[in-house]
Amino acid sequence: MRIFSGIQPTGEKHLGNYIGAIRQYVEGQDRADPAIYCIVDLHAITVPFDPAELRQRVYDTAAVLLASGLEPDRCVLFRQSDVYEHTELCWLLSTVCAHGDLNRMHQFKEKSARQRELVSAGLFFYPVLQAADVLAYRAEEVPVGEDQRQHVELMRELARRFNERFGDVLVEPELRVPEVAARVMDLQEPERKMSTTVGSDSGRVYLLDDPGAIRKKFGSAVTDSGREVRRDPEKAGITNLIGIMAVATGRGEDEVEAEFADSGYGDFKKAVGEAVADYLAPVREAYPAIREDEEGLERVLSEGADRAREMASVTLADARRAMGLGPA
């Protein structure tokens, strides 16, 4: 079974990325043949960016993934722009994608509303490129956070439409979101997801934050005027912390509620801060040495790209043939 996922090389990676996506990538290495993970620099250029910084951010992201437990001989890790098949398949798929489908994408609506200068056509096309990323590998499973559900539904739809029109070439992939904490919320505004671009630093926990900063952010997390540690739609802050605590300590949410049934919010927040500081310690400690070795990172990415290209070029040859492109 093939697994594919992508992650943007923008900003510093946070606890939402880790819980929603990265820990699933690590686990996927054992199940998949192969697990394919892509740093999507072509997606990152759909909003304003700095070229020199982009290259550095790709290394930052690769180093975070390796520090989190991806191993180059157990998965394929590569940079999207190294494999041209993605952009070509994006174009082929655009012909079976309705303009109206893209107009309905939540992420496009949110991101375009935030753009001050230019809402690029690339931003509009973002979900088609994302579909190409996955479909180029005939991947069966896509591990992501809950916010990517609509994008995965669209890629399934595009695969179906392509196959109906041109024959059985593409594979319809399944969404895989974590059972607990698939949507980690901002610590300061728990009605909103933790995000790289929206909200303040105190609302998001970076994977590389030192333990003191992590404790402080949880200590000042926004909760509610009640006192019971239990999940409730009216208690977004506490519900979020229960999910995070469950993941960080490898327990169920029920167990977490039971343990803290007699605690006040203050003690609970303190315990979550401690647990997350411990949970992220291995990543934080492994990161600096990995990040420092840019040649090593470049080697991992280019070897990954060679393996990725080998797989993607087979699908592209089939797709071209099915569409009547090129010589017979």
Interaction site with ligand TRP (CB under 6 A): 4-8, 40, 43, 130, 133-134, 142, 144, 148, 151
What gap in Å lies between CA 259 and CA 167, rounded to an integer?
55
Q: Which pair of tokens denotes residue 49? A: 């960016």
What gap in Å lies between CA 241 and CA 251, rounded to an integer?
13
> Do residues 267 and 227 touch, judged by C-beta distance below 8 A?
no
280 binds ligand AMP (CB under 6 A): no
Looking at 8, 188, 240, 315, which residue binds ligand AMP (CB under 6 A)? 8
145 binds ligand AMP (CB under 6 A): yes
> What DSSP assignment string belongs to 220-269?
T----S-------TT-HHHHHHHHHHHHHHT--HHHHHHHTTT--HHHHH
Looking at 2, 3, 4, 7, which residue binds ligand AMP (CB under 6 A)? 7
CB neighbour list of residue 254: distance below 8 Å, 6 or more residues apart? none
Provide the minimum distance between the beta carbon of 236 and ligand TRP in the complex, in angstroms, as a whole number: 22
Stretch of 129-137, 160-168, 189-197, 231-239 lying at the interface with ligand AMP (CB under 6 A): 189-197
Looking at 2, 57, 193, 215, which residue binds ligand AMP (CB under 6 A)? 193
Looking at 36, 97, 144, 245, which residue binds ligand AMP (CB under 6 A)? 144
Of residues 127 and 237, the one with the C-beta less far from ligand TRP? 127
Neighbours of 188 (CB within 10 A): 18
Residues of this chain that interact with ligand AMP (CB under 6 A) are 7-8, 16-17, 19-21, 144-145, 147-148, 182-184, 193-194, 196
